[in-house]
A and B are shown apart, each in its own frame.
Chain A
Amino acid sequence: MRGASRGGVAGTLLALLLALSVRSGGASKASAGLVTCGSVLKLLNTHHKVRLHSHDIKYGSGSGQQSVTGVEASDDANSYWRIRGGSEGGCPRGLPVRCGQAEVSAFGEDGEGDDLDLWTVRCSGQHWEREASVRFQHVGTSVFLSVTGEQYGNPIRGQHEVHGMSSANAHNTWKAMEGIFIKPGADLSMGHDEL
């Protein structure tokens, strides 16, 4: 991306070459380091070094939804997020998440969200690799999940503000950290459709 903005044929060619090699490499890579459906993980914002976090809090006299922030601690159980597909159920356990696939974070009542909770994983390559930096784009509004750099005061002092940003930049890259990762299932029995 930097190469393209600076202009120059060499820069663009290099970027293209890199993108191509990553794509082809991704196809043949061992599947051990992939994020799969059903996995539970923590997301670290690579720029601000905080983890995506959620807890019950009321915004003043607000709607009483869950508050989503960024925290610096690595051992908070409220920072775990679950990978689920959209309502069409195309995300069976153990299936590696494809770049561009929509996944639902654990919003909503008891984990059941609605269509406004769908986020698409934006990453380079075929599948979401655990070591890779990815972005999350909201399906409804096209904003990217970002950390602003502002921090809250009481009662959640020290926690960072998380919001949606319209452009892709360093504030909205995330990486999978701690978690429970289901290994890609080779022999997932899909059953049969008819008697």
Chain B
Amino acid sequence: MAPQNLSTFCLLLLYLIGAVMAGRDFYKILGVPRSASIKDIKKAYRKLALQLHPDRNPDDPQAQEKFQDLGAAYEVLSDSEKRKQYDTYGEEGLKDGHQSSHGDIFSHFFGDFGFMFGGTPRQQDRNIPRGSDIIVDLEVTLEEVYAGNFVEVVRNKPVARQAPGKRKCNCRQEMRTTQLGPGRFQMTQEVVCDECPNVKLVNEERTLEVEIEPGVRDGMEYPFIGEGEPHVDGEPGDLRFRIKVVKHRIFERRGDDLYTNVTVSLVEALVGFEMDITHLDGHKGLCSDLLTKGLCSELLNTFIGAEYLSERTQMPNAYCARRLWSPYSSCQNKELRERQSPLTPTRACNRHQGHTEEQPIVEGLPLGKRERKISVIFLGSHTTNSMNHGVPAARLISSNDKDSSSDGGSDNVP
């Protein structure tokens, strides 16, 4: 009986050792596929680090371990050499142990947290002096706003370090009374200082990862705590990156919609046209004029990245719309009216009623001009409720509307 117990015990022990030695699944810890790009890995770490930080989960006994696993996963997968080794040999195949402290990796993304966060506001103790904040304008392109990105930044800053000896600190003016003689006093002002441990300012460097989140708005700030200017008697200030979206040559963002202008000839405007439009992420989409086809022949991705999209709506949709400019009043021209697709609302007709038949209704364009500018609007997905699935409603912009769309065309869906 004893040898049987022993063998079972040995087997169990071996199994346990094997399980531990097999190593952690770093991809699973980060929640990314094996084919994930470095950008995806950084994004995943940043999102999870905020959730799993031990200070955020004081009731979870495994929080520290989970957080360390996360740090280890990022350290390996973000380094191309280590990732290659890990992919081939697993965790135990890694040459040197990952010794870098996981608080260090956290500070790459969020700054120098020297204190507990998650609920306690920074400026709670106003008596602690604070160094200056630094605000840096960060230029980003519309493509980066669409797909997201990470910007690597080297922060070289002076840091207060211990030095031998003492120094004067908390200097202040005090009134001192001295007696010159019987009944005669003199009051003088004196500078009185305390004694503090000596500090010197040493320049240190670290890399920071600034995330450009998909859909980020102009002016949004990303703070890195403690990365501002130091204060010898207190805490360092913060470093804040302020997003500045650079004007794009083709697309303009309004809300969550993308606008662009398309130039077509007069014939095309009346008869219909098809054209390829290259989206921000490089893929091409086809857009057809409503007069002939009535709807877009291909669904284009909406503006915000896929992740953001899934939170907002069930079905991504895009619409091609055009301004209803016609050289003839479509109400008076019977032929043209019959040719129009049922998706064209009659509202546009009413607006142009005042014009006679001979007068072309052209906004600011001279007669005989061959070209028209048409606004193609890729709409966001905020009209899902009013619409039958599979049949997108057309949203027509009257030429008198300065911005945004007329209210719904859902009643015109056949």
Binding site for B on A (CB under 8 A): 32, 38, 40, 74-77, 80, 82, 92-94, 111, 177-183, 185, 188-195
Contact = CB atoms under 8 A, between A and B. Distances in A.
- Helix, strand, loop or mixed for chain A's interface? loop
Contact of A195 (B230, B231, B232, B260): B260
B142 interface: yes
Nearest to A32: B154
Contacts of A179: 155-156
- Helix, strand, loop or mixed for chain B's interface? strand
26 contacts: A38-B137, A38-B139, A75-B158, A75-B229, A75-B230, A75-B231, A76-B132, A76-B229, A77-B131, A92-B139, A111-B137, A177-B203, A178-B156, A178-B157, A178-B203, A179-B156, A182-B152, A183-B154, A189-B149, A191-B141, A191-B249, A191-B250, A192-B250, A192-B278, A194-B250, A195-B275
Chain B, interface size category, equals: 35 or more
Contacts, number: 90
B250 A182 contact: no
Contacts of B229: 75-77
A189 B138 contact: no
Contacts of A193: 249-250
Nearest to A189: B143
The 7 closest A-B pairs by CB, nearest first: A77-B132, A183-B152, A189-B143, A181-B154, A93-B139, A77-B229, A74-B158
B132 A182 contact: no
Interface of B: 131-134, 136-144, 147, 149, 151-158, 201, 203, 207, 228-232, 237, 239, 248-250, 260, 262, 275-278, 280, 282
A53 to B, nearest CB: 13
A64 B35 CA distance: 58
B237 to A, nearest CB: 7
Contact of A77 (B144, B228, B262, B277): B228
A191 B147 CA distance: 12
A181 B152 CA distance: 9
